[in-house]
Structure formats: structure tokens, C-alpha cells
Copies of this chain bind each other. A is one copy, B any other.
Amino acid sequence: MNETDEIVRLLRSRGLKVTPQRIAILRLLKNGGHFNIEQVLNELRKIEPNISISTVYNALNTFVELGILRSFEVDGKTWYEIRKKPHINVVCEDTGQIIDVNVDVSTIERKIRSMGIMIRDLTIVVRGNCISPSLSGGNSQK
């Protein structure tokens, strides 16, 4: 079964219509990585040149509501990623890049659940400097 078939099945299983725009968005995100709207649009327009920003927002919001994607916000911008097991999103203040770091969050989850809270989503964001200032030789903070 190829990648597109998988996506088509996913969409159908959620009762969504299969459109080229939705397929393109899921193809972009399904293999990991983090994308903000600007990046999603840039990538998608290579494939679907006329795709509109509202279609992208609509699709991303739908996918987040259905639990296919998850989103989090950094500096007023929303980032989207495929939903997988909880992890740390490390935002490098030098490069703007976001990387995933896996950690065991079962202790955190257990504590939250023990308080009678049903967990819907867990976001861990670290802002930091991935390039050591001493090595990069200067003040590269924004």
C-alpha cells in the first residue's frame, strides 16, 4: 500500500472527503517534522500552486480536531506536527529550528491523572540555544 493510499484511507475513515489539498498536506506532515503556516504554504504551492491559506488552515484545524495532527504555539505562531507519543519540542532561539527530543513522560502523566484530570494533550516546549554562543562566536540571539 503506497503513501497516498494510506492517506486516502485515513481521510475516508474519518468521514472526510478526499481532496488533493488534504492529501498534499498530510503527505507533507505524516513523516515527521514541524511546520508553521508559512512553511506549509511554501511547500504545498510547489504541488498545488493555487492552494489558499484558508484551505490550509481549515484542513490543519480539522486534522488537529480529529487528533491526526497536534499543534502548539511559539511567539504568536502555531506549529503543526503529526500526533505521536509525547516528546519535548526544542525551539532553538538562534536558528528558529524545532527538534524533537524523546523523554519518558509517564511520571508527569501519572501525577496529572492522579489528580482526576483527563489528559487531552501534553505539550513540552524548551526554548534554548542549540548553537553554543562560545562556538558560534557572537551574539546571535534575536
- Chain A residues close to B by CB (< 8 Å): 72-74, 76, 88, 90, 92-93, 101, 103-104, 107-108, 111-112, 115-130, 132-133
Contacts and interface: CB of A to CB of B under 8 A. Distances in A.
A96 to B, nearest CB: 14
A42 B132 CA distance: 42
B126 A117 contact: yes
Given A108-B124, A123-B127, 9 more contacts: A88-B111, A101-B112, A103-B111, A108-B126, A116-B130, A117-B128, A117-B129, A119-B127, A121-B126
Question: How many copies of this kind of chain does the complex include?
Answer: 2
Closest 3 CB pairs of A and B: A73-B73, A117-B128, A121-B127
A118 B125 contact: no
Contacts of A132: 116, 118
